[in-house]
Structure 1
């Protein structure tokens, strides 16, 4: 039960928010537009649908005070803001019909709405709770039967890199308490399809001169005598070991740090009744958002299976664009005495490009900044 996992004050505040939501016929959800926010949206919209509460879903990009106030004032109905909002509610202190579910740092202020932030309850919002964690907690506070929405909480945590080195703190407690229909296996951190596709489309880890280059991947696998037409799950133990060693060497040649090297192998989860692994799920949700189609995975996971092909296609479009942008940005890095910077072609891609460059390609001795113009 949820009350056995979190402290009483945290639980009471979530139940307070849940009661307010359950008393409504129509609710607006505003989610941050990234992978964590979209995963949060999937959780909340499913929880609302199950209670026959009508909803409108929107996404937040601009987090400045004026933009946030305009979004809140668009409609005079109860609004759930998820994966953002704790710092922004200072701009709408008089607004009562707002419930914030957040995990970011914020400046505390007196408001009439409900501001639920993990950091107020001794939970590390950087490593132990993300937006999807908060959405999952609210879904559980509404009804413990929403425990089956756990895959989307996991997807959000992965999108926020909170799975590196395994789950910690509150995230770990939730997986342990509600993960009875999930299965964890330690493996090479690749996703989907045969090995040629898995490595070609791999951006996290990003393998220089392998990622995005299937002909090089074929040569690489042939040289170590690992068949590229098989999936990772179809390999024998010796083949998996050989592949892991050689991919590790590839990353070491790139000069990656210890954090990136650790990410080559990770705990991957599968879920009963779910066709995607935890990493595949996270990347599909995040990838659709990065190309401006956040609501396609929401639509799919609300039950509309007709959009599956479009959803997977959007993910591959994102991967192809990201790989191209990463290689291009790596060649066009600007060097200053204390930092490096680059210009991202699209604002939605800046974070993903920065992550790949910072972890896997750029030297580790200076900060890296991405600008969008």
Structure 2
């Protein structure tokens, strides 16, 4: 790809071409535009952005949320498109399946995705990326074409945001939804949980529209009871406090924090003044340095972070903080209530929000039970270069990837962070497993690329399934009778990656 293509300006120029392609072709047979999007928080945010943008243009649309854009799903889409003749938008997936879409779909379509394109292992494969870019740029936008890292620098919602913004500048007010999507994909990987790359530009749009305020705050959930927020903070590991709400409560009281509100309920982070927050910060640093021999700067890097607040939402609610908002959307998508999540992201604050909160409560309980089951049953098995587990009838295919992510960052040491963790669960009514893999950043930096590993293992197992994702997180489907062979092949692929 020529050097000008590796720029944000070229990215915007190509977005304009894709928008023009859409404008010229979306009225095919006067059928509604068909949007297909993913079920996670980023996918639902993507769908909400596209839905609002098309609604404002008075363009009829239908939206379908699916688990993954697998070959069988593509065949269903092809059959429906041939019958109804819809223009199709694929958001938050499509790049990993672009060859199948290009081959099978007769109707015009566009792809707005941030995952590694099919047959591409990493962003350094410049020649291969250029070939895909040149052959698909009229209808395919992907950050890797321009030198941006789709794992951390822009989400699917971010790609949809720029499509919407070019379609109509007034859609700049959808920037906050794009940041919710980026947060849902845990892309706040900069210092103090900041956003980088294209995400930082979207964030500037949101700030210019007075939609997001950034504050420095303690890295706790702002809405959970304070002792629970300390005990279950995923980024702060304090042996003796982490995982124990009673010891955390005693610790906070010892610091002089009055824990109860006038109504008898335990305070949350939002109920504290600056002086109380400073007491907690100093207390945690002292605890970490004296009892755990952790350098103060090490704990401080994880303790004080950027918090992104949605200024139009009510303070103290689960919609005020983009992290809590994205958790709500993710729970909706993964509990078969994606339409509720999209409705909330598009602005519904009545019945849909009440249902979403019930979903979130049930979803958290399901995840907690799943993680506890994995820990208690000692089901993690090992090959030379991967570790894996089967979800049996306890973990569904919609949450198997989330459980893998939780295990990567869990401090119980039930898994080894030196090996990728692979989880698989049977998809109901089929003879296949949904398989998800996660890798800790420390081994990704050593060369582990799960997107590449899964695609190579599929090929070596002679499977025609589609798979991929990002270097630290990827997935696919595998026939039940092929799972052992696939895992063996994947372990060998990881070995080759580490030995390069």
TM-score bin, normalised by smaller chain = 0.7 to 0.9
- TM-score, normalization by structure 1: 0.85
2:155 paired residue among 126, 130, 139: 130
Q: Distance in 1 between matches of 2:86 and 2:202?
A: 31
Q: Does 1:364 align with 2:417?
A: yes
Find the counterpart in structure 1 of residue 355 from structure 2: 310
Distance 1:289 1:260 in 2: 34
Of the candidates 112, 117, 136, which is equivalent to residue 101 of structure 1?
112
Cα distance, 1:224 vs. partner?
4.2
Match of 1:170 in 2: 198
Given the alignment of the two structures, is residue 222 of structure 1 paired with residue 248 of structure 2, yes or no?
Answer: no
Partner in structure 1 of residue 389 of structure 2? 342
114-123 vs 201-210, which deviates more? 201-210
Whether 2:278 is the aligned partner of 1:278: answer no
Q: Determine if contact 2:21/2:138 at 8 Å carries over to the other structure.
A: no
Residues 1:47 and 2:53 are matched in the alignment: yes
- 1:236 CA displacement: 3.2
Number of aligned positions between the proteins: 365
Q: Distance in 2 between matches of 1:263 and 1:72?
A: 47
Q: Deviations over 1:111-151 (max 9, x none)?
A: 69711111111211111111011011111011111111122
**Greater CA deviation, 336-345 or 145-154?**
336-345
Tell me which of 80, 85, 93 is aligned to 2:89. Answer: 80
Task: Structure 2: state its 5+ residue gaps.
Answer: 1-6, 119-130, 260-265, 315-319, 427-500
- Deviation track 1:329-369 (CA, whole Å, cap 9, x = no partner) reads 23334242544323331111112211121113234333322
Is the contact made by 1:97 and 1:113 (CA closer than 8 Å) also made in structure 2? no
Q: Matched residues in 2 for 1:246 and 1:328: separation?
A: 34
Whether the 8 Å CA contact 1:62–1:68 is kept in 2: the answer is no
Change (3 A) 1:100 1:201: farther
Separation (CA, whole Å) in 2 of partners of 1:87 and 1:105: 6
TM-score (norm 2): 0.65
* RMSD of aligned Cα (Å): 3.2
What is the SS of the residue equivalent to 2:44? helix
Structure number with the bigger relative contact order (C-alpha 8 A, sep ≥ 6) is 1
Structure whose alpha-carbon radius of gyration is higher: 2
Q: How does 1:1-373 map to 2 (within 5 A)?
A: 7-22=8-23, 24=27, 26-75=32-81, 76-94=85-103, 95-107=106-118, 110=135, 114-165=139-190, 166-180=194-208, 181=210, 182-196=212-226, 199=229, 202=232, 204-205=234-235, 218-228=249-259, 229-244=266-281, 264-275=303-314, 276-304=320-348, 305-331=350-376, 332-336=378-382, 337-344=384-391, 345-361=395-411, 362=413, 363-373=416-426
Give the secondary-structure state (helix, strand or coil) at the position aligned to 2:410: helix
CA separation in 2, counterparts of 1:225 and 1:206?
Answer: 21
Q: State the distance in 1 between where 2:373 and 2:241 align.
A: 15
Q: What CA distance in whole angstroms lies between the structure 1 residues aligned with 2:48 and 2:299?
A: 29
**Residue by residue, what CA displacement relative to the aligned partner does 1:218-271 show, whole Å, maximum 9, x if unpaired?**
445435443442221332334324434666768x97x9xx99995554311112
1:45 is displaced (CA, Å) by 0.7
The Cα shift of 1:195 comes to 2.6
